Amino acid sequence: MIKQTLDISKPYAHIHYTSYCIDIDFSSLLEEMLILNYMKEFNQHYGPYLVKNCKKKADFKLKLRGVRKVSLMRAQSERKKSEVDYSVQIFSIKGSTALVDYHASISHLQLLFKLIIQKLLIPEQGFFLHTSGVLTHDNRLILFLGQNNAGKSTTISLIRDYYKPFADDTVLIKKVEKSWLGYQIPVEADREIYPFTSTKGYPIEALVFIHKNKLTKCSSLPKDPNTLAQFLNQVVGGTVHKNNIQAVLKYFESVNKIFKLDINTTMSGKELSNILDNN
């Protein structure tokens, strides 16, 4: 597919993500400067996913209208609520169309993108996983899981000279034919730390649960109810519909390698990469 650079004279675009095509319509925006700002944001953050055509009927349509502005007082009040509650008031989803009536920020559009993919995943086998990850030398994913402040991002920082940083917060896990693949999420990571971007899905080598400890060691975990419970805690809340909850369980059963990594964050990246290489 031919990558597209957005042109103000043609206020439409197409995002191709995994097997999905999302049409974007800027034509209802009344202010030329607003169109330019949106197009700049989409070029910057969704560039690798923009295509000239999707060669298929759109799975979803996104209409950016931006006819209202959120007052500063209301914005401050709404941000005290959850990000989802606040953002849902910025846009609405009806059937296979999303309408954005407010001047939405790129973070709002990022959340909207996730909600659209979540909706498209309902009849399929896929889900979002709260995880950081790296690519090995043979282009397989090692995914690091754990609660906030467990050390996932620190682990990536330590080994970034030995593995290719892939994801900082969320990965889409999706079954394609007979294989489970991991996909990056657009706009998700700081591109100074995670410069690598790819539209491809990659096979998953291992799941690694991170725990901070004085002594660094890596040990295998069994596929028992306790490990499954830890895994389910990392499935992004609200992204698993009752129709595809079985996908999460099937993926867990398919994983060959599951480890617990106790990590002392003062150790060197070389030492940590050697531990990962040997497991």
Query: What residue type is assigned to position 229 of the chain?
Result: A
Q: Beta-strand (E) ranges in the chain? A: 12-17, 20-25, 50-51, 60-68, 91-94, 97-102, 126-130, 132-135, 141-145, 164-167, 170-176, 179-183, 202-212, 217-220, 258-263
The C-alpha angle 222, 227, 231, rounded to 5 degrees, equals 135
pLDDT tens track for 7-45: 656 678 889 999 999 998 887 776 777 778 778 888 888
Report how far apart the first and last C-alpha atoms of the chain are (Å, whole number): 38
Residue 73 is predicted with a pLDDT of: 41
Domain at 126-277, CATH from 1.10.260.40, 3.40.640.10, 3.40.50.2300, 3.90.228.20? 3.90.228.20
Least trusted range by pLDDT, from 166-180, 188-202, 241-255: 188-202
Q: How far apart are CA 167 and CA 5, in angstroms?
A: 25
Percentage of the chain beyond pLDDT 70 is 82
11 against 207, higher pLDDT:
207
Report, as an integer, the average pLDDT of 108-116: 83
Q: Could you count the other beta carbons within 10 Å of the beta carbon of residue 197? A: 13
pLDDT tens track for 130-175: 999 999 999 999 999 988 888 888 888 889 899 999 988 889 999 9
Q: 93 pLDDT band (50/70/90 cuts)?
A: confident
Helix axes 269-277, 152-159, angle to 10 degrees: 100
pLDDT tens track for 57-83: 999 999 887 655 544 344 444 444 444
Least trusted range by pLDDT, from 88-97, 168-177, 198-207: 88-97
Q: Is the pLDDT of residue 52 over 90?
A: no
Q: Report the chain's mean pLDDT, rounded to a whole number.
A: 81
In the chain, residues under CATH classification 3.90.228.20 are: 126-277
Q: Which residue is listed with tokens 């439409």? A: 12
Residue 235 is predicted with a pLDDT of: 85
Residue 195 is predicted with a pLDDT of: 73
**Whole-model pTM?**
0.84
The C-alpha angle 51, 55, 61, rounded to 5 degrees, equals 70
Least trusted range by pLDDT, from 52-56, 142-146, 258-262: 52-56
